């Protein structure tokens, strides 16, 4: 990559930001497309997020991604919030308009949907109720994606029921029923499920394991994990042994970057096996 006087600029704001794989992801696509652009890590302390976002148009940036802890704080700074990001309650992508206005979007729902379609092309929203484990930020994006795809019933299983209830309240539409359950009721929730998604941090390296008995899940039901360190979680290993189609968490991370790249740099990009290998190598190097 060579920086020139016309290089288009984007980046990721986070605190800390050093763990982010997004600079490697976007640099891969910039190299692949040959676009004169750069994507930078932008370490921004929580108390500086407003100044940092307001500086983007002044400095000529096309936009940026947001990661922890800025995804909610950005709501009070941006000029416009796309309706989907408002429903999910988090902004992960900023796009600067030609007039210098700052728009907040959320691309996690897109990332989840594209990855699912990529990995299990024959999954149908009519396959049956979707069971989502978790009610945090990731779960909210996944519920929005599934509701918009036409899933008629979504069952949330979460440790903190209040959190599940507020998710159900915020993301219900006339076309989708969202129910909530505790972990004690998970076997019943799985019984006729058409999709199972782990959207908790359980099973991630350094976190407690996710111990789930899959025996009540119908055999053809796909099992998705958003965890990508390790890539093959205990949940996915157990699902694979039982013959379920399985989807790991790396693809969602990669696909969620596509809309931002397209908006800032003006070209569509794809998630390829080579890209997966490049990101997996950076994850392995960090172990
Ligand atoms: P993210 O933005 O990645 O979704 P989050 O908002 O912190 O992260 O959500 C983490 C999810 O993992 C939540 O559903 C959380 O359950 P609670 O809402 O009850 O906190 C779930 N989770 C994390 N650790 C857990 C544990 N030890 N047992 C059960 N659930 C856990």
- pLDDT tens track for 225-253: 999 999 999 999 999 999 999 999 999 99
Mean pLDDT, range 96-100, rounded to an integer: 97
Helix (H) or strand (E) holding 189: helix 186-190
Distance CA 135, CA 158 (A): 6
In the structure, what pLDDT confidence band is assigned to residue 12 with cuts at 50, 70 and 90? Answer: very high
Q: Is the CB of 93 under 6 A from ligand 1?
A: no
Question: Distance, CA 68 to ligand 1 centroid (Å)?
Answer: 15
Q: What is the CA radius of gyration of the chain?
A: 19
Q: Is the CB of 17 under 6 A from ligand 1?
A: no
Q: State residue 55's pLDDT score.
A: 98
Residue 183's region, left for phi above 0, alpha for psi from -120 to 50, else beta, is alpha
Distance CA 209, CA 225 (A): 13
Q: Which residues, 6+ apart, have CB-to-CB distance to 80 below 8 Å?
A: 101, 102, 103, 104
Q: State residue 208's pLDDT score.
A: 95
Q: State residue 285's pLDDT score.
A: 87
Q: State residue 284's pLDDT score.
A: 87
Question: Which residue is associated with the tokens 């979460």?
Answer: 158
Question: Which residue is associated with the tokens 């004169």?
Answer: 36
Q: State residue 1's pLDDT score.
A: 67
What pTM did the predictor assign? 0.96
Give, using CA atoms, the residue closest to atom 6 of ligand 1. Answer: 136
Mean pLDDT, range 148-176, rounded to an integer: 97
Q: Is 175 a catalytic residue?
A: no
Give, using CA atoms, the residue closest to atom 23 of ligand 1. Answer: 201
In the structure, what pLDDT confidence band is assigned to residue 286 with cuts at 50, 70 and 90? Answer: confident
Candidates 26, 71, 244, 258; catalytic one:
71
Q: Which two tokens stand for residue 286?
A: 């960090």
Question: Distance, CA 218 to ligand 1 centroid (Å)?
Answer: 25
Q: What is the pLDDT of residues 117-155, one digit of tens each?
A: 999 999 999 999 999 999 999 999 999 999 999 999 999
- Please choose from 70, 136, 138, 183 the residue to mutate so as to test ligand 1's pocket, defined by most ligand atoms within 8 A of CB: 136
Q: Is the CB of 180 under 6 A from ligand 1?
A: no
pLDDT at 287 > cutoff 90: no
Distance CA 20, CA 50 (A): 21
User: Helix, strand or coil for residue 11?
Assistant: strand
Distance CA 104, CA 93 (A): 6
The percent of residues in the chain predicted with pLDDT above 90, rounded, is 98
Strand ranges in 49-176 using DSSP code E only, listed in sequence order: 63-66, 80-81, 93-96, 102-105, 130-133, 153-157
């Amino acid at each position: 990559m060579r920086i020139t006087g016309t290089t288009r600029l984007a980046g990721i704001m986070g605190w800390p930001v050093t763990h982010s794989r997004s600079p490697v992801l976007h640099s891969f696509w910039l190299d692949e497309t040959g676009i004169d652009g750069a994507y930078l890590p932008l370490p921004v302390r929580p108390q500086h997020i407003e100044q940092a976002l307001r500086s983007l148009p002044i400095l000529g940036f096309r936009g940026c991604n947001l990661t922890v802890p800025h995804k909610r704080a950005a709501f009070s700074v941006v000029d416009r919030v796309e309706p989907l990001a408002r429903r999910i309650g988090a902004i992960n992508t900023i796009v600067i308009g030609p007039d210098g206005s700052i728009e907040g979007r959320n691309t996690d729902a897109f990332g989840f949907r594209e990855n699912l379609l990529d990995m299990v092309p024959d999954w149908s929203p009519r396959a049956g109720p979707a069971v989502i484990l978790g009610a945090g930020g990731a779960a909210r994006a996944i519920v929005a994606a599934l509701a918009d795809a036409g899933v008629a019933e979504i069952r949330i299983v979460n440790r903190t029921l209040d959190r599940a209830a507020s998710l159900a309240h915020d993301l219900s539409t006339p076309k989708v029923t969202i129910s909530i359950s505790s972990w004690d009721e998970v076997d019943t929730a799985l019984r006729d499920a058409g999709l199972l998604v782990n959207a908790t941090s359980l099973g991630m390296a350094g976190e407690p394991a996710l111990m789930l008995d899959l025996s009540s899940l119908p055999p053809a039901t796909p099992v998705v994990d958003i965890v990508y360190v390790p890539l093959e979680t205990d949940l996915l290993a157990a699902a694979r042994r039982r013959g379920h189609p399985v989807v790991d968490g790396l693809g969602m991370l990669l696909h969620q970057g596509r809309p931002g790249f397209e908006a800032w740099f003006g070209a569509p990009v794809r998630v390829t096996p080579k890209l997966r290998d490049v990101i997996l190598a950076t994850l392995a190097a960090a172990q």
